[in-house]
Structure 1
């Protein structure tokens, strides 16, 4: 058996939850859950460490990485959080707010780790009225390398982009057809 075949068999066993490789699978899930904690710092703060840990471990167990860079893990996390509205604790927490914050934080991370000529990110918010100045200040504390414009408070969408090593977030209004106004 070749080295490549051995690696493929091992990877298949980890992903299939083969009991003989359970420690490796647990390590994989824990590593991905920790990466989510690094990316979604404000969501973790807002939800609390225990709730965030539970959500991140479930997400990591069911959503494989789409990119080789662990820093870019979590591209579906905001949708996963939004789906919690339909769960048994759907009315317990403000899932739409946490989903919006997660979408913003992932866009920040995406821009931070992007190539120099990356396209800007555009995030449409589910609950724009909940994006207050206080929440924007918390977001800036979680991501201090990001310049967040005060016009983001209450904006229906955010334009997140990078110039050199600096990140910027500006609020956008949407026309009735759902596109950003020029």
Structure 2
């Protein structure tokens, strides 16, 4: 075995108890224990990052799926809060989850919420600074979304499913939304009280915010929104998104 091969196998053994047993043989007890602990720590991190997926499938199914992913995917950071970015793609290919085709997109929304919770704080939007921009320059403004903002286009009702699984949202007299009731456009963000929120967007709203995410100027963002709905009210929408800390700044240059 070459040194390069040995180093690769040793790295895998630190994350995979079975590989530790194969590599170290009768001396594998300590390495296997370490690898097993690391495996379960990654699976536990997934359980924290994907609460809606866990509720949808139950603890036992989720635990098996999380351990299967953790076995294949080591952590590349000392901060386990950063672990799990590829879990939705894994779910989409995980054979036991194929009967739940909406699950991968629910995971994508869970991950956006997880990122929103840990995103950096932002400064408050200044309407005074906006009013000071000369009218001839306003069309070139680039409105900046907060780092805590995530957007998701799904063929499933992911925003409704997410909200239905919040403790204060579900009315016992009403059934949970059916996964096949149609697609939704979802916005995830962290509000001024440090609470992660999810809202279903109208097509014009999604088009506008997505254009802002891409760093497009205001004129083009408005054009995209109006292509979806000629009655899109920019003033009302901007006020709401600023109050919710979805839009936090602007500039006249390329996005940050």
1:108 maps onto 2:152 in alignment:
no
Query: How far apart, in 2, do the equivalents of 1:18 and 1:90 lie?
Result: 29
Query: How far apart, in 2, do the equivalents of 1:132 and 1:154 lie?
Result: 11
1:156 maps onto 2:184 in alignment:
yes
Across the aligned residues of Structure 1 and Structure 2, the Cα RMSD in angstroms comes to 3.2
CA deviation after TM superposition for structure 1 residue 31, in Å: 0.8
Corresponding residue for residue 197 of structure 2: 168
Corresponding residue for residue 80 of structure 2: 70
Corresponding residue for residue 150 of structure 1: none
SS at structure 1 position matched to 2:196: strand
Query: How far apart, in 1, do the equivalents of 2:152 and 2:77 lie?
Result: 20
SS at structure 2 position matched to 1:140: coil
Query: How far apart, in 1, do the equivalents of 2:68 and 2:202 lie?
Result: 35
Corresponding residue for residue 23 of structure 1: 33
SS at structure 2 position matched to 1:74: coil
Contact 2:187 2:198 in 1 (8 A): yes
Corresponding residue for residue 153 of structure 2: 124
- TM-score of the superposition, structure 1-length normalised? 0.69
- TM-score of the superposition, structure 2-length normalised? 0.51
Contact 2:52 2:162 in 1 (8 A): no
User: In structure 2, do the counterparts of structure 1 residues 132 and 38 end up closer, same or farther at CA, with 3 Å as the change threshold?
Assistant: closer
Q: Deviations over 1:51-110 (max 9, x none)?
A: 1111100101111224432123211111111112xx3x465x21x211111111111111
User: In structure 2, do the counterparts of structure 1 residues 66 and 162 end up closer, same or farther at CA, with 3 Å as the change threshold?
Assistant: farther
Query: How far apart, in 2, do the equivalents of 1:106 and 1:167 lie?
Result: 12
> Unaligned regions of 5+ residues in structure 1, if any?
1-7, 144-152
Corresponding residue for residue 5 of structure 1: none
SS at structure 1 position matched to 2:167: helix
Contact 2:91 2:97 in 1 (8 A): no
Contact 1:79 1:99 in 2 (8 A): yes
User: In structure 2, do the counterparts of structure 1 residues 136 and 41 end up closer, same or farther at CA, with 3 Å as the change threshold?
Assistant: closer
Corresponding residue for residue 61 of structure 1: 71
Contact 1:40 1:106 in 2 (8 A): yes
Larger radius of gyration: 2
Query: How far apart, in 1, do the equivalents of 2:190 and 2:75 lie?
Result: 24
Query: How far apart, in 2, do the equivalents of 1:90 and 1:38 lie?
Result: 19
Corresponding residue for residue 3 of structure 1: none
